[in-house]
Amino acid sequence: MFATKLKTLRLTAKMNQSDLAEILHVERSTVSRWESGTSMPAVSMIERIAEVFDVRIDYLMGKEVVVETAKIPVIGKVQAGLPVEAVEEILAYEYIPAEMAESGEFFGLMVKGDSMSPRMIEGDTVIVRRQSDIRSGDVAVVLVGNEDATVKKVIKHEDGITLIAFNPAYPPRFFTLREVINTPVEILGKVVELRGKF
């Protein structure tokens, strides 16, 4: 199994045996023996090979770990009065570990604008656990009145809450407790993961 994995990785990387031997500081014949299955490298060398090809040692040894996943929708916007499950604008799907999915309800939201840059940029996706309350200091998806949902850091005070953008060009927005109720300002969920796009 190791021999086949090594040869496949080498060919995919468009290397010949001499190229790989030079990187690993071994003879070409040594790489040839590994790929033919007539010898095996030491554990330290297997670790080095895994680093070169940016794979896990388990993968090289044929012990692939299967992670159960769940599919969640990525939406472009959330508007006031419209529950997430009613949104028809599904842009894509993301996969999260099944263990995570079992811990609550999740959805993805595509970041728009630059208010959360440089940490989050337009086109990134945030993975959100649906919940109506969060701890002070958490990053959350928030609905403010009739605006689309926004991603902001939420700071709680005795007399209200402040929504803070990461981009200093956007001033913090403070809402009194009365404004939270009347506007309203609604927490849709906590951001638990950021997935950047290139």
Q: How far apart are CA 93 and CA 193, in angstroms?
A: 15
Q: How far apart are CA 69 and CA 123, in angstroms?
A: 23
Phi, psi (deg, nearest 5) at residue 9: -65, -40
If you ran DSSP here, which 8-state letter would residue 185 be given?
Answer: E
Query: Of residues 152, 153, 156, 197, which has the active-site annotation?
Result: 152
Output b/e per residue, 37-51; b: 16+ Cβ within 10 A. eeeebeeeebeebbe
In angstroms, the CA 185 to CA 175 distance is 8
Mark whether 153 is an active-site residue.
Answer: no
Assess whether 152 carries a catalytic annotation. yes
The owner of tokens 């009145």 is 145
List 115, 132, 136, 190, catalytic entry: 115
End-to-end CA distance of the chain: 33
Query: What totals of helices (H) and strands (E) does the chain contain, helices first?
Result: 7, 9
Q: HSE-up of 83 (CA within 13 Å, CB side)?
A: 7
What DSSP state is assigned to residue 61? T
What is the set of active-site residues? Answer: 115, 152
